[in-house]
Every structure is written in C-alpha cells, then in structure tokens.
Structure 1
Amino acid sequence: MHSMANFTNLRKALLCQGEPDYVPLFEGSIHDDIKSRYLGKPSGTLEAEVEFAEAAGYDYVHITMGMRQTMRGEKLGLMGAKTVESGVLKAVSARYNPREERENTRLWAEEGQGLIRDDASFDDYAWPDPSSFEYSALERLGRLLPPDMKVVVNVGYIFTAPWMLMGMEPFCIGLAAGEPLPLRVIDRVTGIQRRVVENVLQFECVGAIRMPDDLGYTTGLIVSPRLLRKHVFPAIKGIGDLTRAKGLPYLCHSDGKLYDVLDDLVDCGFHALHPCEPASMDIVEVKRRYRGRLCLCGNINLDSTLTLGTPSDVEEEVKLRLRTVAPGGGYCCGASNSVPEYVPFENYVAMINTVKKYGNYPIHAD
C-alpha cells in the first residue's frame, strides 16, 4: 500500500513505460456525496479536492476548463458537484439514488432542437472567451498540492459540445449530409478548446490533459468512423500535438464500443483510454492488441458490480482486473464510467482498498 501521492508512478502507467510500483487509482469524476462521506465533512472546494485525493490514494486532482465547464456549469471546474446550473442543458431533479428519499439533479442534453439552429443563432450565441476561464484555480492548486501530486485537466468536448449546442439529431443529420452549420460549430469549439489547452499548459502543476468526448454507446459509434476521421479527429490530434510537445500524457475518455476507431485514437496521440466499459469492449482483448501503446483505465463494472453488488463482489472483480490487465503495466483501476452518488459507499471503499492491498507490482491478486 502506498501512503503518499506519486504522480511519477501514475505517469509511468499512463505512458506504458513498464510496470510502475503500484496500479494507480483513476476516475473520471467522483460525486460530492462520496467525497464528503470519505472526508467526514463537506467537499466542493479546491482545498477539499486535494484533501480527498490525498486521503483516498489518488496521485492527481481533476479540474475542468473550457467548453465542458460552459456546458455543465461546473464552478471552479470541479467535477461531481451536487448543484449544477447550465444555460445549455436541462436540469432535472429526481431520486437517482434509490437508497435515499432526497432528490439529486442531473443535466440532460437536448436530442431535438438545440440553441444553435442556423447561422443567426450561431452568431447570437454567447461564445466564451478562452481567456475568461478561471485559470486562477490552477494557480491555487499549484500552491495547495502536496509534492508529486499534479492536476489532470479535462478539456475535450470537440464532438460533445457541438451536438449539445445544436441538438443530437440536427447535428448528426447535418454532419452526415455535409451541411455547413455543424462544421462551423465544430471549428468554433475547436478554436476555443485549443486556446484553453495552450493556456493550461503554462501551469507547472498540470500533469496531463484529458479529453472527455463520448464518441460511442454500448453497441457502436454515434456517427460513422468516416465522419469522425474527416471532421473530429484532426482537431483532437492537434490538441494532442500540443500536449505531447510539452511531454505530458494525453488521455481519452469515451464511453461505448470503440473498436472501429482504436487505431485512430492512437494516431490522435492518446496515451490512455478511459473507461473501457465492460458492456462494450473486452478489456483483456484490447490490452492484448494495444499493449504498450494504450494505457487502459477503469473497467470496474458500474452497471452491476459497483452499484448492485456487495463489497465482496467488488473485491473479486478488482482482483480479476489486477490479474488479467495489470501485469506489464499500462493499467489504472477505477469505475467503468465514474463514481455517482448511487454507488454504495461501502462498494467504493472496497474498490480502492482492494487496489491498495493487491495492486503492488509484481501482481499477486489471488
């Protein structure tokens, strides 16, 4: 079990540079309810983010900058917040956690018509100035972080922000039909996100860039590989070139079945893929095919084991991943999407404690 943050260890895993000292923990986001309970006090501040990461055993803290922050209203760039506001997405309150009476809020994107319908609404939309995001949060984190802990900055949304702004159906149909509006939106979003990455790469505390952009769903891609290759991947590769030029790991987050574009993701410059959903892809097969080229992150089943199983079930699944995926390095353990509030707290603790107990190299997770 490791007791102090060690981003060098995480970096070695992400870059597939052989076996690090231990299998790192890695999550896309963790809900405030989980973090608050782990800390025994409210979360939701930069100070609490750092304290939680240290206490739970993460080698980094997450923060969001750019269009995702605009879309999702993530104050200070903190992910997993209970209170969310957005001028683009619809906030819906419901009992998402069946174990509790109280309601929580989720943001839902429009499938039909979005805010941008034509050139006039494109021009009227309040596009964010890339220099206006709260980069002061990175300055503060630079002072708060313990030695050898870094910030993983979430940018992405090259594909996601355009369809959220236009609505899923108009965007996808327009893209397939070769209409100019979807391309105009992609170009505008890309310009903003590229500037954001250029800005965050100036901060010494930044250790990696993560690109959250769901390109698929359980059984396939949202649009064809041809359209992604023509209109989306060049922009993602451009940001990857900036990141790699600084010597930093470049991480992809995409749910869904990605077999048809895994080679493209490697060509975009990604070092790591998150979260490797079990319902969509066989992580052992992906590891066999991309060993040494893609670090695989996540894969502990959020659909069943983490949410519906027992702590013993979680321990057994984590040990299985450690035995079958971790050897040789290039694996970070975590949930197969994120850790929402409806994951039983005991199951979350079982996951991270099992990694700490059995995740030291060489792996012996029998």
Structure 2
Amino acid sequence: MRTRRMMTREENYFRTVEFRNPAWIPVSVSLMPATWKKYREDLEEIVIRHPLIFGEYKKGSRNFDEFRGLYREGTHTDEWGCVWKNIRGGLDAIVVHHPLSSWDAFESYTPPEPGEGLPHGFMFQRLYYLRGFENLMMDFVDEPPQLHRLIDMVLSYNLAVVRKWVARKPKMVHFGDDLGMQDRLPMSPEHFRKYLKPCYSQIFGMCRDAGIHVYFHSDGHILEVIDDLIECGVTVINPQIRANTLDGLVEVCKGKVCVNLDLDRQLFPFCTPKDIDEHIREAVVKLGSKQGGLMLVAECEPDVPLENIEAICQALEKYMFYYS
C-alpha cells in the first residue's frame, strides 16, 4: 500500500508562488514588539495554541521588553547619515534628519560601502530619507540635475548588495519599499515609471535572470503600478487590502502574480471576531484559487484586543484549507 507523502512548508510555499496547486494557503501573523510588551504571557498562550501559524513556540523563549534595531526608543544615525527617532519602543521609528535636505551638501556627500543586506525602504524611501519627502516630490517635478545622480548613487549601492545575494543562489529575495499613501500614490504613475521603474527593473531583473523569485512589499495604495512591478520581475507582491481594496487587487493581480495579502490591520482593533471571520473568508473566496497564488498575513499592533488576535488565528487556520 502506497503512503501519501506529506508536503513540506517550503514546497507548499513555492507551489503557491508558482500556481502549482498547493495543499493549503500559507498564512502568518506578525506580532509587533510593542504588542508582545503589552500582552506578554497572555499573547504567548495564543501563540502556543496555534502551531499551524507560529510553529513550535517554546514558552518563555521571548524577552517581552527587549527591542532591537529601529524598534528601540531614542535616536540613532544609520550608515547613510539619516537620523531616526523612535518615541515609543516596540513600534517603528521615523527619519527626522535628512543629510541631503539641501543640494549644497550633495557634492561632498559619500555613500556607505555596500553591506550585506538591504533595509526596508531600499530605493524610493531611501531617496526621501536622504532628501526629505517634500523635497523629493518637488524634485520629481522640477528635475534638478542632481536628482538623476542621487538616484544612480542609491541604485548602484542596491545593485552591489543584490549581486552578493544572487551569488548565494537563494530561491527568493525579499524587498520592501513603501510606495503608496492611504488612498493614492504620492507621485503620478508617469513619475514612477520615469524615476523608479528603471531602478526596480535592474534590481529585480538581476534576480530573475538567475532564476530567483522576487518578493516585494509595499504599504499604501499601489494599484496603478502593480502591472509595472510585475513587468520589473516581481513574482510575489505584499499589498495592503484596505489601501488597495479587495476588488481592486482581484482585478489587477489575480492569476498574474502571487499575492501575500496584508489583511486589514485598521479593522482589527475595532471589529468583532465575526467580522474577522467574514473578512478573511471574503479574501480567500475572491482572491484565492485551487491553483494557488494567494497567501495571507495579519499584522497585529498593540491596539488589537487579545480576543481579536485569537479570532484572527482561528479564522486563518479555518480558511487556509478552503481549496484543499
């Protein structure tokens, strides 16, 4: 009698990415460090109850009060000279000083040597971390001569880092760059295609030419440029459902690119467990298929009640086998 081979998580994941009939929808829950700090052992109990989502978590293995990197309270300066400030440990920091806010500083500015990794905000965001958001938006319109040199400088750094990654021959490389605002792009699609798309095309193309999948995360509304990102080589996109709408993502993404759908984190603090179940079911029914192409992720900030975190986990475990 033949025994049925169990599919590994990795095999199922790449079957999902490649639309090759996965056994289940990959799901995950992201718990912010501030959420751990607030709920502590009570949150740990939820994690332990849901090994399908969190794996085999060992009780007591997390320091609830330890924050690393940009999650630490206070200020620090990164390798580009951008000063970050965090007013509440466990949540994200923001850039409060931009070393190239004046073009007068550009000629004497020296970028860092390429490191081993790319932080979140590697291209578009790095440009406005250096220049300041309003300055960069004006640059896209006014097109000062320094702008193209700045873009080339950041692009060259990114290409050097990605070249190191490609040499290691991973199956996938992850990128994150928040391109959108709550309900629109901060720039016109034409400006995106002029200034940013050529950069992404080179960076992602290097991966795709080596047979490596490209995972791309962006917060905010990006519907108008998703086709461009796919054209640049993105094979998994991680968009926010509220900023783009479920129907909008179905129209632009379904069957064309694998979606790791960022569920509605602005809903979770205020809704009922029943609302959560309906929200996740609708996403699975509309955007999923037996062939694959859908993953689900729920990020929980400290304003999400424990009851709703539990409801998120239960609904994800319920619907991850919807097409099985």
Contact 1:297 1:331 in 2 (8 A): yes
Cα gap change, 1:266 to 1:312, in 2 (>3 Å):
same
1:177-224 Cα deviation digits (max 9, x unpaired): 1112232222111111111112223346x4422221122212211111
- 1:344 partnered with 2:323: no
Contact 1:93 1:104 in 2 (8 A): no
Moved more, 354-363 or 257-266: 354-363
Q: Give 5+ residue unaligned stretches, structure 2.
A: 1-5, 56-66
> In structure 2, what is the equivalent of residue 181 of structure 1?
146
SS at 2:167 equivalent: coil
Aligned-pair CA distance for 1:92? 4.1
C-alpha distance in 2 between matches for 1:154 and 1:58: 24
> In structure 2, what is the equivalent of residue 282 of structure 1?
245
C-alpha distance in 2 between matches for 1:74 and 1:174: 34
Q: 1:225 aligns with which of 176, 189, 192?
A: 189
> In structure 2, what is the equivalent of residue 12 of structure 1?
15
Alignment map for 1:25-64 (pairs within 5 Å): 25-26=27-28, 30-34=31-35, 55=51, 57=53
SS at 1:233 equivalent: helix
Contact 2:71 2:90 in 1 (8 A): no
- 1:362 partnered with 2:323: yes
> In structure 2, what is the equivalent of residue 22 of structure 1?
24
Contact 2:33 2:90 in 1 (8 A): no
Cα gap change, 1:325 to 1:84, in 2 (>3 Å):
farther
SS at 1:57 equivalent: helix
Contact 2:28 2:53 in 1 (8 A): no
Cα gap change, 1:106 to 1:355, in 2 (>3 Å):
closer
C-alpha distance in 1 between matches for 2:20 and 2:35: 32
> In structure 1, what is the equivalent of residue 3 of structure 2?
none
Measured on the aligned residues, the alpha-carbon RMSD in Å equals 3.5
Contact 2:73 2:85 in 1 (8 A): no
> In structure 2, what is the equivalent of residue 200 of structure 1?
165
| Displacement over 6 Å in runs of 4+ | 36-39
Structure showing greater radius of gyration is 2
Alignment map for 1:1-366 (pairs within 5 Å): 6-15=9-18, 17-26=19-28, 30-34=31-35, 55=51, 57=53, 75=69, 81-83=71-73, 85-87=75-77, 88-94=82-88, 106-110=92-96, 114-125=98-109, 127-130=111-114, 132-133=115-116, 157-203=122-168, 206-278=170-242, 280-304=243-267, 306-328=268-290, 329-335=292-298, 338-362=299-323
Aligned residue type for 1:332: M
SS at 2:255 equivalent: coil
Aligned residue type for 2:296: C
Contact 1:23 1:332 in 2 (8 A): yes
Aligned-pair CA distance for 1:10? 1.6
Aligned residue type for 1:250: V
Contact 1:172 1:223 in 2 (8 A): yes
Normalised TM-score (structure 2) = 0.78
Aligned residue type for 1:269: G
Cα gap change, 1:196 to 1:235, in 2 (>3 Å):
same
Aligned-pair CA distance for 1:125? 4.3
Normalised TM-score (structure 1) = 0.70
Aligned-pair CA distance for 1:255? 2.4
Contact 1:155 1:197 in 2 (8 A): no
Contact 2:73 2:86 in 1 (8 A): no
